[in-house]
Amino acid sequence: MPGDLLLRVRGLATWYELRRWGLFHQGWVRAVDGVSFHLYQGEAVAVVGESGCGKSTLARTLLGLVRPVRGEVWFEGRLLQTTEDWRAYRRRVGYVQQDPYGALPPFMTVRRILEEPLVVNGVRSASERRARVVEALEAVQLVPPQEFLLRFPHMLSGGQQQRLVVARAVILGPRLLVADEPVSMLDASVRAEVLQLLRALQRQRALSVVYITHDLSTVRHFCDRVLVMYAGKLVEQAPVGELLRDPKHPYTQALLAAIPDPDPENATRLRPVPPGEPPSLVRPPAGCRFHPRCPAAIPGVCDRKEPLDFEVGPRHLSACWLHEGAVVAEAASVAGADPS
């Protein structure tokens, strides 16, 4: 059962302005364009989609690193409005970056890296800082901690560096963790270990997690729910088991079809993925943004009207006109009346 509601996002839009040439305004990149979802305390939610779908911008917005141009973010029942609201919110959110080596200052020891957020946030007692550093290292299984305190990042393996990034993300006791592709730069052998570590920390501390990934195959053992993103919008949201077993949206079905089957016997049984590239986020297609690639697109509907979120099961939403019986029936009658 989910805990209390921690985060509610409504109609969130984060756009980047394209470079201006004199007075000529070239437009906006609509990286996140009307995203709504919620997250319960202690829940892990994956945001999946192809590169360039806007999921990293969504992560940066949730981290408070960029401010949305539109929409609302509610945290612990409070609407974030002022700069001070966002500042206070950021202290409750931990960030696990994609590239551990790039995320860690090379000239600082493990001890200083972990002490820094404590110093910045006013933990004055040296003994308390030391105790919290040791506790954080133990939590991410960099043990015994004394062996790691004086090392520099280049003296750690890739997996150990990512554990250190996780330790830094949780040392202030956040309620929300945003992990942006946290294992995509690690060797396959340590990916599962880091995901298991994140899952264990999430459960022990009742942390809520937003896990950003392009790899649907990693979400099964890590997440409670999945949000599927395409061209700046969420197209499907469902509990992880249901989404993997019975995806409703054609784009989710295509993503799942693209996961290679590790069994060589089944390697030829992949379903075809719709051809084409994700659309421009500067001038996205009208109607459903997936319609130029969608094998089930309904002419005259999908290219004109943006689909609503249809409830297709418990806690399961899919933004596709195929779930609207009247639209499908009308399309079928038009197709039947077509003499060609």
Residues that bind ligand SF4 (CB under 6 A): 249-250, 288, 290-291, 294, 296-298, 302, 307, 320-322
Residue count of the chain: 340
Burial pattern 116-138, b for ≥16 Cβ within 10 A else e, equals ebbeeeeeeeeeebbebbbebbe
What is the smallest separation between the CB atom of 257 and ligand SF4, expressed in angstroms? 14
Minimal distance, residue 332 CB to ligand SF4, in Å: 13
Residue 171 to residue 187: CA distance in whole angstroms: 25
Closest to ligand SF4 by CB, 134 vs 331, is 331
Report the phi/psi class of residue 209: left, alpha or beta, with left for phi > 0 and alpha for psi in -120 to 50: beta
Closest distance to ligand SF4 from the beta carbon of 5 (Å): 29
Query: What b/e readout covers 234-243, taking b as 16+ CB neighbours within 10 angstroms?
Result: bbbbbbbebb
Between 63 and 273, name the residue whose CB sits nearer to ligand SF4. Answer: 273
Identify which of residues 111 and 249 has a Cβ nearer to ligand SF4 in the complex: 249
**Separation of alpha carbons 36 and 34, rounded Å:** 7
97 vs 237, beta carbon nearer ligand SF4: 237
Tell the smallest beta-carbon distance from residue 267 to ligand SF4 (Å).
27
DSSP letters along 221-246, please? TT-SEEEEEETTEEEEEEEHHHHHHS
Cβ nearer to ligand SF4, comparing 209 with 294: 294
Burial class from Cβ neighbours inside 10 Å (0-12, 13-18, 19+) for residue 20 reads exposed
- Least Å distance, CB 108 to ligand SF4, is 48
